[in-house]
Amino acid sequence: MSRANEPIAYAVIREDPRLEGDLILRLRAERVLCVASGGCVALSLSSRFPKVAVTAFDTSAAQLAHMRRKAEAAMRRDAVALNVEDAASTGLNQAGELEKVFRMLRAFFEEFIAPHGELFAFFTRQRSLPELDGMVRTWTTSRYWRAAFHACFSDVLLRTTLGSAPAAFADVGVQPDYFARAFARAFRRDAAPENPFLQHVFLGGYHKDCAPHYIRNPTPFRVEMVHGSIADVPRLERFDVVSLSNLMDIVPEAELVATAKLLKERLLPGSAVLMRQLNSTRRLRPYFEPELAFDDVLGGRYFRRERSHFYNRIEVGFRR
């Protein structure tokens, strides 16, 4: 459980809710369970699918309170508070510990790779397409490209910021190059200037037309909040879709075994489990099989569709 006055680890959750949205449409889901974290996935699903009951769980009371503040800001259409066209570190979507790391990365970029005006021109498409492509080639082949990520994503800094769990199943020292490749891949995509995850990192906020769904389409959010782990969520059998973020990468072995056992016993046939993996070598399928059947084709499609580009694998399993 969370400590009193604990800082917010994640101001946003770097996961594309279009993946969960696709599962909702495929299964005609009526109830969805997801990790709260920064709240973006839960709030976006609630605003996009107002008839779907969304439940978000988190062991951190601070993260749940943060999500509640974001919902309130969206409802009063306070775009500035949500870092739309505003990069203030006091904004709700810049208020986490991990966001400090990305502000360091942005500062490094502006000093050594691309000045702010050049980044702004890229994200507003103020240049021709060949010029935009040339900018990306110049950035990603800069002698400072890898240096930027080694300066800002060192094991020491990430462990100090987030603890040891997120890197538990990644080799020591590989995180900087992993993120260097991930961001290079994201910048090379056709719709990179409109990518809200890239905008958040390199501009410090969102253009209004690219902001997350819950900001652009606020509705009375129908989100049940559960303070605790997935074991504390009542009546798991009611959920058609369970989205576990990359939690299964970082939990201890005993908790992974217990979580898999719980879902295998409680989920009804036809329901889906979605798991993301961040620079992780942990093999998750054996814990959930044979009760869950994993779809390689759909997982690969979701991996290519995920706009945050943070993850090295996405698993989609269906309860037999």
Annotate the chain with three-state secondary structure: CCCCCCCCCCCCCCCCCHHHHHHHHHHCCCEEEEECCCCHHHHHHHHHCCCCEEEEEECCHHHHHHHHHHHHHHHCCCCHHHCECCCCCCCHHHCCHHHHHHHHHHHHHHHHCCCHHHHHHHHCCCCCHHHHHHHHHHHHCCCCHHHHHHHHCCHHHHHHHHCCHHHCCCCCCCHHHHHHHHHHHHHCCCCHHHCHHHHHHHCCCECCCCCCHHHHCCCCCCEEEEECCHHHCCCHHHCCEEECCCHHHHCCHHHHHHHHHHHHHHCCCCCEEEEEECCCCCCCHHHHCCCEEECHHHHHHHHHHCCCCCCCEEEEEEEC
Q: pTM score > 0.85 for this model?
A: yes
Q: CA-CA distances (angstroms) from residue 255 to 80, 226, 249?
A: 39, 18, 11
Is a pLDDT exceeding 50 seen at residue 1? no
pLDDT in tens, 26-39: 999 999 999 999 99
Give mean pLDDT, residues 306-316. Answer: 97
Task: Report pLDDT for 221.
Answer: 95
For the chain, the structural domain boundaries read 18-79+214-319, 92-210
Superfamily of domain 18-79+214-319: Vaccinia Virus protein VP39 (3.40.50.150)
Instruction: Quick: pLDDT tens for 161-215.
Output: 777 555 554 555 689 999 999 999 999 999 999 999 999 999 999 999 999 999 9
Percent of the chain with pLDDT over 70: 95
- Summarised one tens digit per residue, pLDDT across range 262-297 is 999 999 999 999 999 999 999 999 999 999 999 999
pLDDT of residue 161: 78
Question: Above 70 in pLDDT, residue 3?
Answer: no
